[in-house]
Amino acid sequence: MLSEEKLQAEIKRLRNPEILKLKQVGDYCTWLDRRRKLRKPGRVVGDTGLGKTSASIFYAFQNRSQKRPNSHPKIPVLYIELTGSSCSSSVLFDRIATSLKPKVISGSVNQQRKIVWNYLQQSQVEMLIIDEAHRLQFQTLDDIRDLEKNAGVLPILVGTSSRLDTLISKNEQVISRFACHFNFERLEGGNFNKAVRTWENDILKLPEPSNLDKDQQVITLLQEKTRGQIRLLDQILRDAAVYALESGKSKVDLGTLKEIEGDYYLVGA
């Protein structure tokens, strides 16, 4: 039984986000490396909750900014996430600019465009990963297409399969440039079991081994609840670990999972 102080420390640890380099994440990073080597853009697609965002952030962190004396920091890979329902060129430029320099840019769209191109060149950005790219307005695609030609920056579009593919299919020049894609797939079969084992060993790290991946009832329950989504698997296993510790247990078992799994329900599943 943990003391109250140690219990709260463990709960805090379990609530901290952590990126695990699963096989799919490793494959994605290799794909991005290849895009940079070939100097070719691409798109990253998959349903929501499959790890596209966390994997993109992980890659950007691996290639984070490098300080240079008497010069702007060099940023090999810049990651941005779009917000809002409709992202115009002006909104895109402002998002890029504020990621590079902590100040707002003003002026016409043409003026903003030139400022952003200059910022990108000063920071020697090689690759720009644009998450939630399906939020872009159709007219903004031309600015995405021109990033490489005018700023020497390789754009990578990240979004949900249906919405991103529908958006770029409306522009012939864009769809041909972004024909190369990486698809994030749902966890299934042996990969699901491996992911559960990885979460138990590298994130939960409870006093006793739970051996969740070896209990078919546990695996079946988790598969039904998550439908192969990494995000949901992460949430359920963390919540189960916290519940177990608060209940005085040193591991997660089927009974613990059944206590918390009712809180999760995928609409349409």
Instruction: Give the pLDDT of the chain (269 residues) as one tens digit per residue.
Output: 678 888 898 888 888 877 667 889 999 999 999 999 999 999 999 998 999 999 999 999 999 888 877 777 899 999 999 998 899 999 999 999 999 886 767 889 999 999 999 999 999 999 999 999 999 999 999 999 999 889 999 999 999 988 999 999 988 888 899 999 999 999 999 999 999 999 999 999 999 999 999 999 999 999 999 999 998 999 999 999 999 999 999 999 999 999 888 887 665 54
Same domain? For 37 and 105 the reply is yes
β-partners of residue 130 are 80, 157
Same domain? For 43 and 56 the reply is yes
β-partners of residue 45 are 159, 183
Please report the pLDDT score of residue 154 as a whole number: 97
Please report the pLDDT score of residue 266 as a whole number: 61
In 3D space, the residue among 226, 228, 237, 209 whose CA is nearest the CA of residue 265 turns out to be 226
Range of the domain at 87: 23-183
User: For the chain, first and last CA: distance in Å?
Assistant: 38
Q: What is the number of other CB atoms lying within 10 angstroms of the CB of residue 261?
A: 18
Please report the pLDDT score of residue 116 as a whole number: 93
Please report the pLDDT score of residue 2 as a whole number: 75
Same domain? For 31 and 154 the reply is yes
Residue that terminates a domain, selected from 125, 152, 183? 183
Residue 198 near residue 51 (C-beta atoms within 8 A) = no
- 17 inside domain: no
β-partners of residue 80 are 130
Please report the pLDDT score of residue 107 as a whole number: 87
Same domain? For 210 and 175 the reply is no
Same domain? For 200 and 107 the reply is no
Same domain? For 175 and 195 the reply is no
Please report the pLDDT score of residue 269 as a whole number: 47
Task: Provide the number of structural domains found in the chain.
Answer: 2
Strands 127-131 and 181-183: unpaired
Tokens read off for 138:
């159709």
Helices (H), the chain: 4-15, 23-38, 52-62, 89-100, 109-122, 141-151, 161-168, 172-177, 189-199, 216-226, 230-246, 254-260
- 269 inside domain: no
Instruction: Count how many Cα atoms sit within 13 Å of the Cα of residue 164 in the half-sphere of its side chain.
Output: 24
- 233 inside domain: yes
- Cut 0.85: pTM above it: yes
d(CA 143, CA 95): 14
| 66 backbone dihedrals φ, ψ, rounded to 5° | -120, 125
- 7 inside domain: no
